[in-house]
Amino acid sequence: MIRFACAKINIGLNIKNKRLDGYHEIETVFFPINVNDVVEIVVSMEDKICLKNYGINIQVDIFENLCYKAWRILKELYDLPYVKMFLYKSIPIGAGLGGGSSDAASTLILLNNLFKLNLSEIELKKYALQLGSDCPFFINPQISYATGRGELLEPLNINIDFSSFFIVIVYPNISISTAKAYSMAKKFNPDVYLKDLILNKPLTEWRYYIKNYFEDILSNDYSFIKEIKNKLYANGAVYASLSGSGSCIYGIFDKGVIPSDIYKAFNSYNVLISNFI
């Protein structure tokens, strides 16, 4: 059984405060995009778990892998048999695109279907939250306003025809630790209301109002963030931003722009071209 695990970008990211449980209260908008890993699961004939990685090498011990952890959660509750998992990795790691969380959510969905567990979307999201704050989003990925740790999701109907645009994602071949990025968060913006800005400002004005909190605090250590963002605008982006806590920077382009010209501008980086889902 196979599932395509999509990536996401963040349109804006604001940190409201630090919570008593150590997490940060955030607000952001998750957009699913058409960049995918592939997760395949089959029943194993052996009494052991197997996970094989293809494409981008994740270089993580199997017991630390989120797909394994997703299987372990359901195995302990439903006495699942051992399985073989095949992860075909295309989404860059440590990039702010949610690849690991999406893989884990896909694993929960595949196990639910393969073994006919009849778990509801609400139940799957509950288990997904044990794996990562943004993991519940990938159980049913759709444009969503996310608050709390990122797990409180409200579907958002934005009055923009996104089929008229495409996304250029620039991966600078550097991973940024989410934990490290959040540990650098000291000042907060409790009075910013990202949802209102996205719903009420035209896309052509997003660049002036909609910000990713991490751009400012990470730019001193990672100078490529401003460099890539400025180059995206110079090549015609309508809006450009860091995604999540990085390291990918993306630009939204009108479909009149020629993608090959953008590839040339970023020939020293890994560039992905995607549509909105």
pLDDT, tens only, 109-141: 999 999 999 999 999 999 999 999 999 999 999
Q: Which of 58, 30, 42, 33 is nearest to 2 (CA)?
A: 42
- Tell the CATH topology of 2-155: Ribosomal Protein S5; domain 2 (3.30.230)
User: What pLDDT score was predicted for residue 109?
Assistant: 98
CA distance 175 to 186: 22
Give the predicted TM-score (pTM) of the model: 0.95
Residues (pLDDT < 70) of the chain are: none
Query: What HEC string does 57-115 produce?
Result: CCCCCHHHCHHHHHHHHHHHHHCCCCEEEEEEECCCCCCCCCHHHHHHHHHHHHHHHHC
- Other Cβ atoms closer than 10 A to 132: 22
Domain map of the chain by residue range?
2-155, 162-274
- Other Cβ atoms closer than 10 A to 248: 28
User: What pLDDT score was predicted for residue 190?
Assistant: 76
In terms of Cβ atoms closer than 10 Å to its own Cβ (0-12, 13-18, 19+), residue 155 is exposed
Catalytic residue chosen out of the listed positions 37, 125, 134, 211: 134
User: What pLDDT score was predicted for residue 22?
Assistant: 86
User: What pLDDT score was predicted for residue 263?
Assistant: 87
Answer yes or no: CATH 3.30.70.890 is held by domain 162-274: yes
Q: Is 37 a catalytic residue?
A: no
121 φ, ψ (degrees, to nearest 5): -60, -40
Tokens read off for 233: 């605008």
Residues 55-86: tens digit of each pLDDT: 999 888 889 999 999 999 999 999 999 999 99
Q: Is 221 a catalytic residue?
A: no
